[in-house]
Structure 1
Amino acid sequence: MKTTSFLSITALIISVLILWGLREIIILFFAAIIIAMALCTITGKIRVFLKIPRWVSLVLTIISILLISSISIVIIIPQFTSEFQELINQIPSAVSKLWELSINTFFNFAEIIYKDNIPNLSDRTILTNKISMIPDGATLASGVTDSITKLVGLVSNVGIGILQLFFIISVSLMITLQPNSYREVAILLVPSFYRRRARTILLRCGNALSSWMAGVLISSIFVVIITSVGLYLLGIKLVIANALIAGVLNVIPNVGPTISTIFPLSVALLDTPWKAVAVLGLYIVIQNIESYVITPSIMHKQVKLLPGLTITAQFIFTILFGPLGLLLAIPMAVVIQVFVKEIIINDILEKNYFSTRM
């Protein structure tokens, strides 16, 4: 092996190790880019609509966001916090009731099937002995409570969370103030013959992210509204908390909607069992409308990700970056897909862009 080749491989390995060590900073920086893209998109829309300078539209954007956040903190957040705490407290009781319903259903079916063959089967002590190795509802409820407590303790490192949030907000504001300058710095890292093409690719990544964010926002608002109306008509308690949880978790495809179903099911199960079935049906209908009607109609310009690639991206990025990786898996997958399509497929495999210029 030549010395230059050996040095190149060594440099590549060292670079990969450095990036792996900085992966937490990288994911935070990517989150800042996502927020900066959102701010730039809103700023651009306001600038075009009102025909005002960019700095004025940026100030209006920040003031609007602060105003909306303040209203949410004063009006929505206290109600949501109260209802969410009540939701958490009701989950163990719901598990106990579900266990009780399961046992009763099992006994009823067993009596119907075996009453002619086993005369003493009506005495439920026999069946109780046969399923004695299965944990009862209280044990399951205690297990659920312990799991929730451990989960909350796992993610409740307030100090680190505040520092990370401060870093994300600070970097996103810096990028928003001078987006073109930061983009040009990134372009300087690529060979000179490819910089014009790199600028086009970065613009397409930005458009894809903007389209994704707009689509997710509209989709989440739809989920919140329809969920609120559906739960209210079914007479389910804690509507605000359940609706907001469904809207927020809608950002995470596949995993989010499944998790959001747990909370209203718990509330409905404690009220009337048939309401739990109705809530499950409601959420299935909402997710199908969101997946097959709302999302395709508002994201027709977005880079489309296949379901298999979506799940794979969520799995990989969660392992690499933790919970934040799960939350940002889809936008990262959108950016990666743009890079793969534009660089690997279009420039290397089809046009052989690099070999004709080197």
Structure 2
Amino acid sequence: MRARKRPRAEQPPERRPPTEETRRPNYFLLGFVGALGVLSAWLLVQALTSARAVFVYILVALFLAIGLNPVIEALRRLRLPRWAAILSVCLGLVAFLVVFVWAIVPPLTEQVSSFATSLPSSLDQLQQSAFFRDLDRRYDVLGRIEGVVSGGDFGQQVFGGLVGVGQVVFNSLFATFTVLILTLFFMASLPGIMDVTYRFVPRSRRTGVREIGDEIVQRIGAFIAGQLLVAALGGVVAFLFLWLTGSAYALTLALVVAVTALIPLIGTTIGAVVASLAVAIGDPWMGLVTLVFFLIYQQIESYVIAPRVMRHAVDVVPTVNITAALLGGALLGLVGALLAIPTAAALTLVLKKVVFPRLEER
């Protein structure tokens, strides 16, 4: 019998060399994918911009929680449970806000009412003066004011201004309440947050990272404590000076000076200007004396008090502090200026403990 021939193995299909049509990219597909990427990035930026206020609230609350943690630990050393220490700190913050509002709102309301009551008589005296009559004859001041007041848009502008002021007050109250609630939750869960954060680091490096992280938290707390001490001292000095000079709003202006002193670089100047203007309304010469006093005290605070208080809080060169505060203020405004100096202190600590030793070993 004749053996059957085995079938030939199937030959692979012949490959043709690539032509220009096969090598040409699909420009439509590339453009479509690129447009989707740009659109996704734009939507992400818009979402982050819309949620900027929420991120700012979270940053401020976390900053306050870390800064107030040394106070909580001090209360715990007095054998208070953590929840009682947190509750005591929160009650202290609320009490300060209540005292601040109580000291600010009644005098401000009284001044506005007094101004509104004396406005007609002040205008009559102004109209009777020779200077105003000559000014009205030249530029028709009364006619222009009457035209603005009797215009149809004047009522809408006044109403819109009142609505705008009310909206600003409501937003400020909402922001303050939100930050207080977030600070409460962060203070309660700060040890857990730190432990979870350290678990993202490999076990072999976790001890060193924990040591640096704990020192950063300690420095932030020391910075806030130092700022509060400097601000409180400025408020006490302002109260004593204004009380001795016979100012009727010594406590109110002292609280304004203390709160504005928390703003880096320009806070003390803002408080001095506000207090001097408030005093100058009743007595211009005394207002000038007040301004001179605060300028002298500002120099003492900047070159004597603050360096001694902050010596162990933030071990950062003053030039770095000023640069960080300016950059933080340009990026996030007042919040950025407040967060910039502790951030610079944390980066300086990382450079000294991690980066520079490794560079020396090479």
TM-score, structure 1 normalization: 0.65
- Structure 1 residue identity aligned to 2:329: Q
TM-score, structure 2 normalization: 0.65
**Mapped partners of 2:114, 2:72: distance in 1:** 43
Superposed, 1:142-291 pairs within 5 Å as 152-153=165-166, 155-158=168-171, 161-162=173-174, 164-190=175-201, 194-291=205-302
The change in CA–CA distance for 1:186 and 1:68 in structure 2 (over 3 A counts) is closer
- Structure 2 residue identity aligned to 1:290: E
**Mapped partners of 1:16, 1:342: distance in 2:** 33
The change in CA–CA distance for 1:90 and 1:193 in structure 2 (over 3 A counts) is farther
What is residue 298 of structure 1 aligned with on the other side?
Answer: 309
- Structure 2 residue identity aligned to 1:43: I
What is residue 340 of structure 1 aligned with on the other side?
Answer: 347
Deviations 1:216-235 (A, max 9, x none): 11111111111011112223
Higher relative contact order (CA 8 A, sep 6+): 1
- Structure 1 residue identity aligned to 2:259: V
Deviations 1:279-311 (A, max 9, x none): 111211222222222212222112235324323
**Mapped partners of 1:89, 1:307: distance in 2:** 42
What is residue 317 of structure 1 aligned with on the other side?
Answer: 332
**Mapped partners of 2:291, 2:354: distance in 1:** 47
User: Contact 2:61/2:180 (CA < 8 Å) preserved in 1?
Assistant: yes
Rg: which structure is higher? 2
**Mapped partners of 1:217, 1:329: distance in 2:** 18
Does residue 60 of structure 2 align to residue 37 of structure 1? no
**Mapped partners of 1:14, 1:186: distance in 2:** 30
- SS of 1:231's equivalent in the other structure is helix
- Structure 2 residue identity aligned to 1:284: L
Using the TM superposition, give the Cα deviation of residue 72 of structure 1 relative to its aligned residue in structure 2, in angstroms: 6.8
- SS of 1:156's equivalent in the other structure is helix
Deviations 1:128-147 (A, max 9, x none): 79x97xxxxx9xxxxxxx9x
What is residue 81 of structure 1 aligned with on the other side?
Answer: 105
**Mapped partners of 2:312, 2:182: distance in 1:** 28
- SS of 1:157's equivalent in the other structure is helix
User: Contact 2:76/2:85 (CA < 8 Å) preserved in 1?
Assistant: no
The change in CA–CA distance for 1:166 and 1:149 in structure 2 (over 3 A counts) is closer
The change in CA–CA distance for 1:306 and 1:168 in structure 2 (over 3 A counts) is closer
Does residue 52 of structure 2 align to residue 23 of structure 1? yes
**Mapped partners of 1:82, 1:349: distance in 2:** 56
User: Contact 2:280/2:287 (CA < 8 Å) preserved in 1?
Assistant: yes
The change in CA–CA distance for 1:30 and 1:211 in structure 2 (over 3 A counts) is same
Q: Calculate the aligned-residue CA RMSD, in Å.
A: 4.5
Superposed, 1:53-68 pairs within 5 Å as 56=81, 58-63=83-88, 65-66=90-91
Using the TM superposition, give the Cα deviation of residue 337 of structure 1 relative to its aligned residue in structure 2, in angstroms: 1.4
Using the TM superposition, give the Cα deviation of residue 88 of structure 1 relative to its aligned residue in structure 2, in angstroms: 6.3
**Mapped partners of 1:252, 1:150: distance in 2:** 28
What is residue 118 of structure 1 aligned with on the other side?
Answer: none
Deviations 1:235-287 (A, max 9, x none): 33321211111111111123333332343333332333211210111211222
The change in CA–CA distance for 1:261 and 1:335 in structure 2 (over 3 A counts) is closer
Using the TM superposition, give the Cα deviation of residue 154 of structure 1 relative to its aligned residue in structure 2, in angstroms: 5.7
Q: Paired residues, what number? A: 297
The change in CA–CA distance for 1:67 and 1:334 in structure 2 (over 3 A counts) is closer
The change in CA–CA distance for 1:282 and 1:263 in structure 2 (over 3 A counts) is same
The change in CA–CA distance for 1:66 and 1:82 in structure 2 (over 3 A counts) is same
User: Contact 1:221/1:247 (CA < 8 Å) preserved in 2?
Assistant: yes
The change in CA–CA distance for 1:336 and 1:19 in structure 2 (over 3 A counts) is farther
The change in CA–CA distance for 1:258 and 1:335 in structure 2 (over 3 A counts) is closer
- Structure 1 residue identity aligned to 2:54: I
User: Contact 2:90/2:184 (CA < 8 Å) preserved in 1?
Assistant: no
**Mapped partners of 1:65, 1:253: distance in 2:** 24
The change in CA–CA distance for 1:68 and 1:21 in structure 2 (over 3 A counts) is closer
**Mapped partners of 1:124, 1:88: distance in 2:** 27
Does residue 329 of structure 2 align to residue 329 of structure 1? no
- Structure 2 residue identity aligned to 1:293: V
Q: Percent same amino acid among aligned pairs?
A: 17
Using the TM superposition, give the Cα deviation of residue 35 of structure 1 relative to its aligned residue in structure 2, in angstroms: 2.6
User: Contact 1:90/1:266 (CA < 8 Å) preserved in 2?
Assistant: no
The change in CA–CA distance for 1:222 and 1:152 in structure 2 (over 3 A counts) is farther
- Structure 1 residue identity aligned to 2:66: M
